[in-house]
Structure 1
Amino acid sequence: MLGPRNDGIRVLIAHPQALVRAALTALMADTTDLIAADEAASYADLLTKLGPVAPQAALVSLQLLEPPPFRKIAELLQRRPEIRIVALSQGEPVDDQVAAVRGGASAIVGQRTPGPKLCEAIRSVSRGLRWYDPAVERYMDERRTTTLPAGDLTSLTPRERQIAALVARGEPYRRIASELQISGHTVKNHVRHIFDKLDVNSRVELALLAAESQN
Structure 2
Amino acid sequence: MISVLLVDDQALVRTGFKLMLNAEQDITVVGEAAEGGAAVELCRALSPDVVLMDLHMPGMDGVTATAKIVAEFPGTRVLALSTFDLDENVVASLRAGASGFLPKDISPEELVEGVRVVHRGDSAVAPRLLTRLIGTFVRAARMPEAPKTLDGLTERECEVLTLIARGRSNPEIAQELQVSPSTVKNHVTSLFGKLDVRDRAQAVIVAYEAGLVRPSG
Using structure 1 for the length normalisation, give the TM-score.
Answer: 0.60
Corresponding residue number in structure 1 for 2:47: 54
Q: Which residue pairs with 2:104 in the alignment? A: 111
Q: Alpha-carbon deviation of 1:90?
A: 1.2
SS of corresponding position for 2:24: coil
How far is the alpha carbon of 1:52 from its aligned partner?
A: 1.2
TM-superposed CA distance for 1:39, in Å, is 0.6
| Inter-partner Cα distance in structure 1 for 2:59 and 2:87 | 15
Cα 1:82–1:64, aligned 2, differ >3 Å: closer, same or farther? Answer: farther
Task: Give the 3 Å change call, closer, same or farther, for CA 80–64 of structure 1 in structure 2.
Answer: farther
Report the RMSD for the aligned CA atoms in angstroms. Answer: 3.1
Q: Deviations over 1:155-192 (max 9, x none)?
A: xxxxxxxxxxxxxxxxxxxxxxxxxxxxxxxxxxxxxx
Give per-residue Cα distances to partners, 1:70-128, cap 9 Å, x unaligned.
Answer: 44321111121111000011127432211111111101000001011111011001101
Secondary structure in 1 matching 2:74: coil
Q: What SS does the aligned partner of 1:63 have?
A: coil
Contact kept? 1:89, 1:111, Cα under 8 Å: yes
1:64 corresponds in structure 2 to 57
Which residue number corresponds to residue 144 of structure 2?
Answer: 149
- For residue 96 of structure 1, what is the aligned residue in structure 2? 89
Distance of 2:107 and 2:134 partners within structure 1: 24
Q: Does 1:30 align with 2:49?
A: no
Distance 1:138 1:19 in 2: 30
Q: Secondary structure at the match of 1:26?
A: helix
Determine whether 1:10 maps to 2:10.
Answer: no
TM-score, with structure 2 as normaliser: 0.60
Which structure's CA Rg is the greater one?
1
Q: Secondary structure in 1 aligned to 2:113?
A: helix
1:140 deviation in Å?
2.4
Residues 1:112 and 1:94: Cα distance change in structure 2 (over 3 Å): same
